[in-house]
Structure formats: C-alpha cells, structure tokens
Amino acid sequence: MESPTGPAGSDADRMARVALTWLAEPGNRAVWEMVREEGAPRTLSRLLRGDVGNDSLRAAVLARLGGFAGARLVDPQRLAEATLRRAKRLGARIVVPSDDEWPGRVDELATLELDTEGRVNHDVRPPLCVWVRGRWPLREALERSVAVVGARAATPYGMQVTSEVGFGLAEKGWTVVSGGAFGIDATAHRAALAAGGRTVAVLACGVDRPYPAGNSALFEQIAETGLLISEWPPGAEPLRHRFLVRNRVIAAATLGTVVTEAAARSGATQTMSRVFALRRVAMVVPGPVTSAMSVGCHELLRTHPDAILVTGAKQVLEAVGRMGEYHAEAARGPEHRRDSLDEESSLVLEAVPRRGHASAEELAAKAGLPLRTVLRRLSLLELAGLVVRRADGIALPRRAPLEQAGPDDGTPSRAAASSVSDVAPPPSGREAAG
C-alpha cells in the first residue's frame, strides 16, 4: 500500500528500503510486516522515533544508529543516499517488489511460519529489496532456474557430478543458481559458464565484496554474463549468520534445488529445509556410503519422502521441467539379441553347452521340447548368429558378431562384444591371436 511520503517503487520508497535493510537484518519479521502494512517510508520514520512495540527491534535499531554514550548518531537516510550513489558507480542497481524484474517467487517466503521444530522462525520473511549486478533482468534470469548447492570441502566425486549437472542445465537454457562459495557452489557456476549459459550467485555480502576472495575472478565472469545478487547493500561484510539468511532466497527464487554433496552438518541441508517448506522440487545426489561428504545427502533421502534421488542433469530436468517436456530414460544395461527371443528359442539356446557341441536330439532332451520344435528354433537361432551347425553338432559361435552390443559391464570388447558374449566362453589365447 502507498505511504504518505511516497508510493511503492518511488525514490522515497527505494531510499527507505535501503535504510531499513541497514537498520535491521534482511528477513526481519517485524520490519517486513510493518512495511507491508504501512509502507517503507513510514516504517523508517517509526523506527527512527523508536515507535515500535518490539523491544529487541528497538534496541537493535538504537545500536545501529549509535545511540550510546559518546557516539555520534548516524543518519540512515544520508547513508542510503550514499549507498545508492556507490552502487551506481559499481554498475549495480536496486530492485524492489514494485519493479517489473522483481522475482515474485521470493514473496512466498511470507507463508513460512514455523521452523522444523515448531518454533517461530524470524529469518523467513521476503526481502525488502535486492541489489543486482549484471545486465540480465532479475525476474527473467530466475524464471527457469535451478539451485545447485553442496559442501565447500567437495570431493572429486562431488565436483564431477556437479559439473555434469550444471553444464547440462545451462546447455538446455536453465539458469544455475548457487552461493558463490568454494567447492560445489563454484563448480556449479563454472560449469554453467563453460556451457555458455546463465548463472546467478546469491551473496551474503555486498555485490562489490567478493567472498571468498579466491573466487574474485569467477565473480567478475558471473557479473559479465549472469548476475550477482544480494539483500545486503554494497560494502556489507559476509558475516556468518548472513549465509543462513541468504539460503532462504536461494530456495525461494528457484524452481528446485539439487544437493550434490553435503556433510552431516551443512548449510546445504539447511537450505533444503526451506525447499521442503516451500514445496519446491527437492533433489539429492547420492554418494559413496564411505564418504563423510555424502552423509547429509543420504540423511535427506532417508528422512524426507519428498526428496527425489537424481544422478545427473537429465533426471533434474525431468523433475523441474513442465510435464512431458523432458524424459529421462531408465538406466538399462546393454541390449542383447537373445533378450527378444521367445520362450522356446531361449530354452533351446540355454541347452547348448558353453563348450563343445550337442546334437539336436540332446538339445531336445535337455530343453524338454519336441525334436521338431527344436529343429525349427535352431534354424532361427542360426540365422540370428546365436548358434552354429558343425559336422559334430550344434555349438555356440566362437566369436561374437561385430554389430552386437557390448558386455554387461559396459566395456566394449575388441569385437564390439555381442549378446552372446555372456553365454559363450571368451576366446582362448590362440583364437584371439588368430
């Protein structure tokens, strides 16, 4: 609703939202509700007067203003003006809920009332504003987006899976969202960039303060082709508690979240608690049961019935895409010619000894079929290259036909291995040499 000092989206409204974000940490329930009911300018005025019933909020605002003995009071409005000028120099902009590029999905954070233990959760309110660095409209960049998160101390396994997922999503035009941290986050961003796609880093500090500093070059790349976004104004420090507050935006702004690797106590699992609460698509990659970096993933899969097990980009796309848009084929072993045999032909083929030969009569007795049936089936099996007739009887071929599939372990053999490779013995050294 409009405030007496300026409508939503006006310069006064933007300035007030910047000042409020400085006075109280993003996600503050009391501040957000006051802004919803009275508008940002009036809320700012009330906080500056101390006209709030929430004692802890009043104390926090007073501390931010420097309201203690010998301190010089800070003017939040002037601070907001200076912050906006600084952002303009950096090429950053502020986005508020009345803007066309506001990502409407984050407003669903207003529906979250309780945490997983039934307590009131104070960090789940929607943002008052978002700072953006990059050319893409924020709403457009997040419209079809998936978050990929996980452990900072990622293993080679976790980074390999993350690279495949991030690259596959970006290749299909999806935006990859993560938090810019070392390990899984950075791997997801780099994979999207390598695919020539979009990636968005949601930061727990100002968009001008790359953290961790070791990812500075990565953040510059993201700002060039994707977006850096934050609820905290330029210059804000990456304080520990801000990462947990930040995670709610990652969960809310995307259609789904994938955890590719996570320890037992991990920020990624906290992000997933928001994903479950918001009824977003929650996807988890399993890992080696011996790896401490997969304990969190396995616990999510074990305890949350809504968690979807995924092993690659195709399954992620199937989970988040529109109905029928993507289809991930079920994992299958190599196909063999004998797989399509009828029951009688299969019985005859099974009766053929793995080594040596047998007569048609012996095969009939072993298969329990009439001789006439066996003779007919042998003709079909011979045409298919699954048996050979020799002067001394019926035998399996010594070497598989070139066009048949590989062995069950998926490793191509020298002869491109065949469907018969698992019923016929491997060639001897002399046969292989010949």
- At residue 329, the pLDDT reads 65
121 and 214, same domain (yes or no): yes
- At residue 330, the pLDDT reads 63
359 and 400, same domain (yes or no): yes
Mean local confidence (pLDDT), 146-170 = 96
- At residue 61, the pLDDT reads 84
Give the best-scoring range by mean pLDDT among 98-107, 109-118, 384-393: 98-107
Classify residue 98: in a domain, yes or no.
no
Classify residue 243: in a domain, yes or no.
yes
Classify residue 103: in a domain, yes or no.
no
190 and 261, same domain (yes or no): yes
In this prediction, residue 60 has a pLDDT band, given cuts at 50, 70 and 90, of: confident
Classify residue 3: in a domain, yes or no.
no
- At residue 333, the pLDDT reads 63
162 and 263, same domain (yes or no): yes
Supply 61's token pair. 């605002």
pLDDT tens digit string along 306-336?
999 999 999 999 999 876 666 666 666 666 7
Q: What's the CA dihedral at 20, 132, 112, 125 to 10 degrees?
A: 0
166 and 49, same domain (yes or no): no
Question: Is residue 93 helix, strand or coil?
Answer: strand
Q: What global pTM score does this model have?
A: 0.76
- At residue 113, the pLDDT reads 64
Contact between residue 188 and residue 176 where contact means Cβ atoms under 8 Å apart: yes
Q: How many structural domains comprise the chain?
A: 3
User: In DSSP terms, which residues pair with 6 in a beta bridge?
Assistant: 3
301 and 165, same domain (yes or no): yes
- At residue 6, the pLDDT reads 54
Mention every residue, 6+ apart, whose C-beta is less than 8 A from residue 22: 64, 76, 79, 80, 83, 233
Classify residue 353: in a domain, yes or no.
yes
Mean local confidence (pLDDT), 248-258 = 96
Give the best-scoring range by mean pLDDT among 90-94, 107-111, 227-231, 234-238: 227-231
DSSP structure string for 360-414 = HHHHHHHHT--HHHHHHHHHHHHHTTS-EEETTEEE--SS--TTSPPPTTS---T
Alpha helices (runs of H) in 1-90, residue ranges in sequence order: 11-23, 29-38, 40-49, 55-65, 76-90
Longest CA–CA separation in the chain, Å: 110
Total residue length of the chain: 434
pLDDT of 427 above 60: no
- At residue 428, the pLDDT reads 39
User: From CA 395, how far away is CA 378, in angstroms rounded?
Assistant: 11
Q: How many CA atoms lie within 13 A of 399 on its CB side?
A: 13
Classify residue 213: in a domain, yes or no.
yes
Contact between residue 418 and residue 384 where contact means Cβ atoms under 8 Å apart: no
120 and 175, same domain (yes or no): yes
Residue 177 sits in which domain range?
109-320
- Per-chain mean pLDDT for the chain: 84
Place of tokens 């080594």: 355
Percentage of residues of the chain with pLDDT beyond 70: 82
- At residue 326, the pLDDT reads 64
Classify residue 92: in a domain, yes or no.
no
